Amino acid sequence: MQEWTREEINQKAKAGYAIVIPLAATEQHGPHLPVYTDTLICEYIATESVRRASNQVQILMTPVLSIGCSQHHLAFGGTLSYKSSTYLQILRDIGESLITDGFRKIIFINAHGGNDPIMMQTANDLAVQYPIWTAAASYWSVAGQALTDLNAAEMGMVPGHAGGFETAVIMALRPDLVKTELLGSQHKSREWINSGPRGSFIGKHSELTGFDGYTDAPHLATALKGQQYLDAIVVKVADWLIQTVRSMEAGGE
């Protein structure tokens, strides 16, 4: 979106383009990864997926929202966050801006766990109030089976937080930002994280993302594995975008 003029964007809205809003975060990722980790991952996945999907459907992407709801990371420092109520209003404001701009197909793609429930609520609220289509998903939900097929869990929790999985992905994207000398091989596990059935939640004060603010030891991470994961995610997210836009188009106004 940021590369087009207002006239060009207006034309795309009138032509029925779907528009993707990528959601990320700026927050602590342990002692070894940059606080921009989720945004680096989100920007790559969203950009490459939208580029791939644009070969088959009319689709556009907004700039990445690089600050999210990261209240559970503030205690560790190095974090910017909106409160959940603020973030809900921000996402609603962005959605309503796009509706005013003329867009009628709004899709959220997320790369930070704390954003997920708020994103889902916003997509629901917008579709209730306005005569539009909405959709929302986090990349790990869309690409979960593909990552299982790649045995991504050999790295640790998927996607986890600043563990082997995210470390491998940042090694592929920005190896210069990974503090490799701090990639410890031992980390206290918290087996209850993500241990319930799908759709459930269990959490503990100060340890929502594990001991010392991250989920697992990152020492097994490699750039090669990280790129394999990214490639698989992009294919699945692009396919989901294509299917979603076509479903919207088939459903009519």
**pTM (two decimals):** 0.94
Non-local (6+) Cβ contacts of 208 within 8 A are: 72
Query: Could you tell me the residue ranges of all domains in the chain?
Result: 6-251
For residue 186, the model assigns a pLDDT of 80
For residue 200, the model assigns a pLDDT of 72
Encoding tokens for residue 23? 């959601």
For residue 4, the model assigns a pLDDT of 97
Homologous superfamily (CATH) of 6-251 is Creatininase (3.40.50.10310)
For residue 197, the model assigns a pLDDT of 72
The whole-angstrom separation of Cα 112 and Cα 67 is: 10
For residue 192, the model assigns a pLDDT of 60
Q: What is the pLDDT along the chain (253 residues), one digit of tens a residue?
A: 999 999 999 999 999 999 999 999 999 999 999 999 999 999 999 999 999 999 999 999 999 999 999 999 999 999 999 999 999 999 999 999 999 999 999 999 999 999 999 999 999 999 999 999 999 999 999 999 999 999 999 999 999 999 999 999 999 999 999 999 999 888 777 776 777 777 777 777 767 787 778 889 999 999 999 999 999 999 999 999 999 999 999 987 6
DSSP for 232-249 reads HHHHHHHHHHHHHHHHHH
For residue 191, the model assigns a pLDDT of 73
Do 23 and 42 touch, CB atoms closer than 8 A? yes
Q: Helices 84-100 and 116-129 meet at what angle, rounded to 10?
A: 40
